Chains A and B, each alone.
Chain A
Amino acid sequence: MSCAPLSVDGLCFTYPGEHHRALDGFGLQVAAGERVAVLGPNGSGKTTFVMHLNGLHQLQRGAITIGDLEMCDDNLAEIRRRVGAVFQDADDQLFMPSVRADVAFGPANLGVPKAERDAIVERALTQVGAMDLIDRTPHHLSGGEKRRVAIATVLAMDPHMLVLDEPTSGLDPFGRRELADLLVSLPQTQLVVTHDLPFALQICPRSVVVSGGRVVADGPTAEVLADTALLEENRLELPYGFDPSRV
């Protein structure tokens, strides 16, 4: 099984030392295998939400269930395996001296024996079309290559769900197209957090708009993007001349 449904209910979160709630009753249901775009202005709580899915923030109130697994301290290791987080800056994610070692990092932490690790690494890199990069040094890769390898590092952990934070940032149009093709080809449930509205429309049938720490709109991406009042209210803007109804 390689995809799982996600259920988030009544998530509230306040950063230590602050009064303002970064998440304020955040709720979201995602079916297995669905690709959902998470849209919203800076500071709306998107990143805080993403951090929760990986257990990088301690749950304060609310519940998160991935597949049949509820988020709690005992399940943390398994949750982190099931949820593959792809961070905004690929340089944060690719920290090992070689692509091979980087993709092997997750499986090694899971205790996969060395012999099996190599096969997993090669499968993950093949999946993202980056097998030729296996012996390269991460910081010599182009933006698009880094992004693909970063996705391979989480695919190597056999995740049931992918969470991608601004996956198109820093990519040229060609790299962006390649990324879209790759994501569409992957079977996992996907949450794509992005400012890139055309990209959301291209790969995600459904979008949610986050504002003030909760979901304020949820529907087919084309409809969400056609709601000019909603977009304006949430500081979202389509590129000049882009008409979502004519794509």
Chain B
Amino acid sequence: MGGGHGSSVDRLHLAGDTIIHRLAPHVKIVATFAFVISVAISPRQRVEVFAVAFACVLTLIMVARIPLRVWLARCAVILPFMTMAVLVPFVGGGEQTEVLGVSLSTDGLWAAFNIAAKALIGASASIVLAATTPVTGLLEGFARLRVPRVLISIVAFMIRYLDLLVAQLGRMRTAMVARAHDPRWLWQAKPIASSAGALFVRSYERGERVHQAMLARGYTGVMPDLVEQSRPRSDWWAAIVVPAPVVAVLVLRLL
């Protein structure tokens, strides 16, 4: 399978028993958002803020024992934007600087730094969240944060059946390859698209069967609570500690 999301959703979570793994999911979600937002609103010239933020993320990765190659591999999703960021100084207008004999836009260099830094730090924070929290934990966390239960249930069903559908699509493609179908041009894409159409029909019909299975077990349109009461612990300190260094450095200059 090519594409941006080669791995299964479940393999995102790396089992572990570090302090970050043990944090309550809803606290981790709030901490991640607070951290990413504080980075995103930082002015680009505040290099020290990005340095501190990057150090924070690296610390989290170390503490959570996320292998560096896993982190780097998952950062690959921001590569297209990194490529674009690299181009900005060449196409950017305004004041120019000479670097190794090439005229670059000063403003463009700052913009490139801004995009690259924020994208890298933001993506890394999301990676820490997903790598240290099982998907069910994330769903519970969002439920605790008052995200509508219907929406969470839809996400849960999507994740539940995603691998199944990908496997079906994979089998269809295997069947095509087995009959020597090796498309190289857009107008040869018809068999693939048709199998995607067949997959939609199968998905929809499975949805209908799942609905019947739900009815058979007394479903009345309201999903039972997904939140497990077994974890009443709230580690709210983490939601303050994680973004605190960034916010502190950010505010320091203003005082």
A residues touching B (Cβ–Cβ < 8 Å)?
A: 51, 54-56, 77, 80-81, 83, 85, 87, 89, 91-93, 95-98, 101, 104-106, 108-110, 114, 137-140, 153-154, 157
Number of B residues whose C-beta is below 8 Å from A?
A: 27
B residues touching A (Cβ–Cβ < 8 Å)?
A: 10, 135-136, 139, 156-157, 159-161, 163-164, 206, 209-210, 212-220, 224-226, 229
Q: Which residues of A are found within 8 Å of B220, using beta-carbon distances?
A: 109
Task: Say how far A19's CB is from chain B's closest CB, in angstroms.
Answer: 23
Query: Does B217 lie within 8 Å of A157, measured CB to CB?
Result: yes
Which residue of the partner chain B has the closest CB to A57? Answer: B212
Which residue of the partner chain A has the closest CB to B225? Answer: A108
Query: Does A105 lie within 8 Å of B10, measured CB to CB?
Result: no
Give complex CA distance A95, B155 in Å: 12
Q: Which residues of B are found within 8 Å of A77, using beta-carbon distances?
A: 218
Contact of B224 among A85, A87, A104, A157 (CB under 8 A): A104
Give complex CA distance A55, B216 in Å: 8
Query: Does A97 lie within 8 Å of B156, measured CB to CB?
Result: yes
Main secondary structure of the interface of A (DSSP, over half): helix
Given A96-B156, A97-B136, A105-B224, CB of A114 within 8 Å of CB of B217: no
Query: Does B160 lie within 8 Å of A80, measured CB to CB?
Result: no
Give complex CA distance A154, B216 in Å: 9
Give complex CA distance A63, B139 in Å: 43
Q: Which residues of B are found within 8 Å of A110, using beta-carbon distances?
A: 218
Give complex CA distance A98, B227 in Å: 12
The 4 nearest A-B residue pairs measured at CB:
A108-B224, A109-B218, A106-B217, A92-B209
Which residue of the partner chain B has the closest CB to A140? Answer: B10
